[in-house]
Amino acid sequence: MSRRRNSRADSLEMLLDTICNTFGGVLFIAILVVMLLQQSGRKSESAQTSSPQVTPDEVDRLSQQLDEMQAEEARLRPILESQLSLVENFATDDIRELLSRRREMIANESALRDKVVDLETVNAKELAQNARLRKENTEAIEENQRNKERLKDLKSMLDEQREKRTTEARLPMRRTTGIRTEVGLVLQYGRLYQWHRYDNNGVRLGLNTDHFVVIGNESGALITTPNPAAGIPLDGSDSSRRELRRLLGRFKPSEAYLTPIVREDSYAAFAEFRDTALEMGFNYRLMPVDAGEPVMDRGGSGGTVQ
């Protein structure tokens, strides 16, 4: 009977040795899996502050190795469970208690691993959300910068337009006393028209039909309008300035002063006329007329005023 007990004990020891070896291998795999998960967690936590320390090829290799180990664990688990069930049938109370504690440890490890997977999933989602928010924030900053640039350009355009529309008020010299010739001028269509003809002595001779067209007669007064194809274009060119100076040069500033009528389409042209007239020493007096009011000429000659 004693030999039978020894033989049975030897068999149990061999079985337990096999089980322990298998359990050690599974435990090694489980520890390795947990370490890999922890390493992955650390990589996720430091992803925003540091660059990864492994290459993509190394990550692929480790991922493949993990898959292989998990497959091996899944293959060995049923064998281990079968062997443990067999051991329990012949094991002592102490062994059974150890096996029970082992099951609890495996269950806890599995629960912890599930939590790690859940945390990894949540962390991955948060990382994706953070990446999306960073991208949106970057796009918002870039859009804000573009809006600032557009606003700056618009302000520059506004200042430029304001400067173009701002006219320096250069007033004529005070009118001197004495008999002087009044030279009537009309600024329309961006051109300068001389209303009347004058002789070499500055005496008015009548309507300047080279610049004006008669379109009617009202109570003995001729209704005239400038010829769009005639006159001197005031476009700022050198030839325009020469023509303007040639026309005004027929008169002497000491013997004549200018009386321009300025239509609403020629305010910019008036600035060029005014600057040239003042540079040549002429006085001028604007003749106010209503918008659209025709230019009426009652004829006569002379055209001198006190």
Q: Is residue 7 part of a domain?
A: yes
Q: Are residues 205 and 122 in the same domain?
A: no
Amino acid at 279: E
Q: Are residues 146 and 187 in the same domain?
A: no
Q: Are residues 144 and 201 in the same domain?
A: no
Q: Are residues 151 and 191 in the same domain?
A: no
Q: Is residue 55 part of a domain?
A: yes
Q: Is residue 162 part of a domain?
A: no
Q: Are residues 149 and 208 in the same domain?
A: no
pTM: 0.41
The total of other beta-carbon atoms located within 10 Å of residue 277's CB is 22
Per-residue pLDDT of the chain (306 residues; tens, 9 = 90+): 444 445 555 666 666 667 766 766 666 776 766 677 666 655 555 554 444 455 667 767 777 777 787 788 778 778 777 776 766 666 677 777 777 787 788 788 878 887 887 887 788 788 888 888 999 999 999 999 999 999 999 998 888 887 776 655 554 444 444 577 888 899 989 999 988 888 877 788 888 888 888 888 877 778 888 888 888 998 888 888 899 899 888 888 888 889 898 888 888 888 888 888 898 888 888 887 777 677 766 554 444 433
Q: Is residue 76 part of a domain?
A: yes
Q: Are residues 80 and 143 in the same domain?
A: yes
User: Could you list the residue range(s) of the whole structural domain that residue 141 is in?
Assistant: 2-155
Q: Is residue 173 part of a domain?
A: no
Q: Are residues 131 and 255 in the same domain?
A: no
Residue whose C-alpha is closest to residue 267's, from 188, 206, 199: 188
Number of domains in the chain: 2
Distance CA 268, CA 242 (A): 18
Q: Are residues 122 and 185 in the same domain?
A: no
